[in-house]
Amino acid sequence: MTPIEQARADRQGALNRLVEFLRIPSVSTDPSHGADMRRAADWLAERLRGAGVDRVRVDETPGHPVVHAELLAAPGAATVLVYGHYDVQPPDPIALWESPPFEPSLRDGDLYARGACDDKGQLMAHVEALAAYTAAGIAPPVNVKYVFEGEEEIGSPNLAAWLSAHASELEADVAVISDNAMVAPGQPSLVYGLRGLAYMEIEVSGAPGDLHSGLYGGAVRNPASALAGILAGLHDAQGRITIPGFYDRVRPLDDAERALLARVPFDLTAFNRAAGRAGAWGEAGYSLIERLGARPSLDINGMGSGWTGPGAKTVLPAKASAKVSMRLVPDQDPEAIAALFKAHVEGLSEPGFSVEVRSLHGGRPALIDRDLPAMQAAGRALEQGFGKAPVFTREGGTIPVVADLASILGLPTVMLGFGLPDDNLHAPNEKFRVEHFHRGTETVIAFLDELAKSAR
């Protein structure tokens, strides 16, 4: 049997193993899940051993462990570094799930569970691909190294240091990550760009304590109003971000790239379904796909002030706060943008208020050379796995490690995503199409074969 035939013969076994993995609630941001994080890392290490890797380690970090494994069975051939993350987002709001987030449920060909797509299901496609080689009694045609981290969803605070410390062990020719989506069902894509991120928190304080709005209202400036003014002013009428210097390092799109992105069969119906009555919005002069992948953005992620519980309470709050994140594109630098944001917002402070701005985390944007031989190999593999040639596209999400792999290890990354735009990442009812899990596994097998054949 070929590895692909082997993978097809054991689809049910592979699905069962994924379900087992999804039952572990590895929520990285929640300290009460510390033991589950360890359990997920150990489970993955054991699974890699089962898939035929003999050198597997679970490395401690100041945060959650990194699972590291390698199988160097192809002397002289290329080496590929596979990255994935075994941590997941919190399942909240739990009430909106149709089945419990950590009890995987199969409905209409979709597997519903937190982490089904982001990223346990996609990561397991790589592990199952290796398992298929092993079960078929065939050594993988390239050398493989695996790095599975447990802190991606909290901004990978400890990964760069771990990569630097283990740089010599991690030598490779190319990295591959499956942690993104295809453009639409039936249309695979090769993502060559991701946005970066700068995540900020603003706190505006006024009076020393909350005040009765009858006794003080109209006579004391409200910090929530001050904050609302600051936030509302962060975009102009053209949808552009007003922070001075914000666009200085944005790499402009050239005509060739605009033409390339215009050819992506963007699923407007799915987009509109998700956007609902809010509809499309954004920076004037750019298409939706450009706004999403190739232009920076700024969003309020949360706001808090005064009374937000049920019913009414007459209060003039002492404080108001907001979480604001900015998605960045090359060559914007998260730290530089965080500094511009801080200076701008603090400068908008009114007399009598203190405005404090903190940076919570960030990640650098990434752009990969489309002509890379490994990219072409991935294109041929996707065509085998999904029956259609992929389109090149850029996506708006952030995977901080992509920039680190380039700067620390000198590795370009191929982004081989098997998710769909409506997989409900980070939201209730996250899902992964079972067919994509299996086809993804076959695509990974094909990718390793194509890499072995392609020039380096």
Catalytic positions are 87, 152
Q: Which two tokens stand for residue 260?
A: 């390339």
Minimum distance of ligand BES from residue 324's CB (angstroms): 13
Of 317 and 363, nearer to ligand BES (C-beta) is 363
Size of site (CB under 5 A) for Zn ion: 1
Of 4 and 111, nearer to Zn ion (C-beta) is 111
Of 133 and 192, nearer to ligand BES (C-beta) is 192
Binding ligand BES (rule: CB under 6 A), the pick from 181, 264, 391, 445 is 181
Q: Which does 412 bind (CB under 5 to 8 A by kind): ligand BES, Zn ion, none?
A: none
Nearest CA-CA partner of 337 in 252, 241, 406, 402: 241
Helix (H) or strand (E) holding 67: strand 66-71
Binding ligand BES (rule: CB under 6 A), the pick from 79, 158, 180, 443 is 180
Binding ligand BES (rule: CB under 6 A), the pick from 36, 110, 152, 257 is 152
Is residue 423 involved in binding Zn ion (CB under 5 A)?
Answer: no
Site track 279-298 with Zn ion (rule: CB under 5 A), x = hit: --------------------
Of 28 and 441, nearer to Zn ion (C-beta) is 28
Of 181 and 211, nearer to ligand BES (C-beta) is 181
Size of site (CB under 6 A) for ligand BES: 17
Residues 187-206 that bind Zn ion (CB under 5 A): none
Name, in order, each residue with C-beta under 8 angstroms of 13's C-beta and a sequence gap of 6 or more. Answer: none
Q: Are 45 and 59 in contact (CB under 8 A)?
A: no
The interface region with Zn ion, picked from 65-73, 111-119, 156-164, 232-240 by CB under 5 A, is 111-119
Is residue 397 involved in binding ligand BES (CB under 6 A)?
Answer: yes
Please classify residue 145 by burial: count the beta carbons closer than 10 Å to its beta carbon, then call 0-12 exposed, 13-18 middle and 19+ buried. buried
Q: Are 212 and 413 in contact (CB under 8 A)?
A: no
Q: Which two tokens stand for residue 126?
A: 């790589």
Residues 409-438 that bind ligand BES (CB under 6 A): 425
Neighbours of 5 (CB within 10 A): 12
Is residue 118 involved in binding ligand BES (CB under 6 A)?
Answer: yes
Q: Which does 223 bind (CB under 5 to 8 A by kind): Zn ion, ligand BES, none?
A: none
Nearest CA-CA partner of 81 in 145, 126, 149, 143: 145
Of 179 and 404, nearer to ligand BES (C-beta) is 179
Dihedral pair phi/psi, residue 201, rounded to 5°: -130, 135
Residue 68, SS3 per DSSP: strand
Of 79 and 189, nearer to Zn ion (C-beta) is 189
Q: How far is CA 433 from CA 265, 270, 419, 421, 438, in A?
A: 20, 16, 8, 11, 9
Site track 65-104 with Zn ion (rule: CB under 5 A), x = hit: ----------------------------------------
Q: Which does 440 bind (CB under 5 to 8 A by kind): ligand BES, Zn ion, none?
A: none
Minimum distance of ligand BES from residue 65's CB (angstroms): 18
Nearest CA-CA partner of 119 in 164, 163, 149: 149
Going by DSSP bridges, is the β-strand pair 315-316/211-212 parallel, antiparallel, or unpaired? Answer: antiparallel
Under the phi-then-psi rule, with left for phi > 0, alpha for psi from -120 to 50, and beta for the rest, what region is 48?
alpha
N-terminal to C-terminal alpha carbon distance within the chain: 28
* Ordered DSSP codes for 366-418: EE--TT-HHHHHHHHHHHHHHSSPPEEEEES---THHHHHHHHH---EEE---
Binding Zn ion (rule: CB under 5 A), the pick from 10, 110, 118, 128 is 118
Q: Which residues bind Zn ion (CB under 5 A)?
A: 118
Q: Which residues bind ligand BES (CB under 6 A)?
A: 118-119, 152-153, 155, 179-181, 194, 197, 363, 395, 397-400, 425
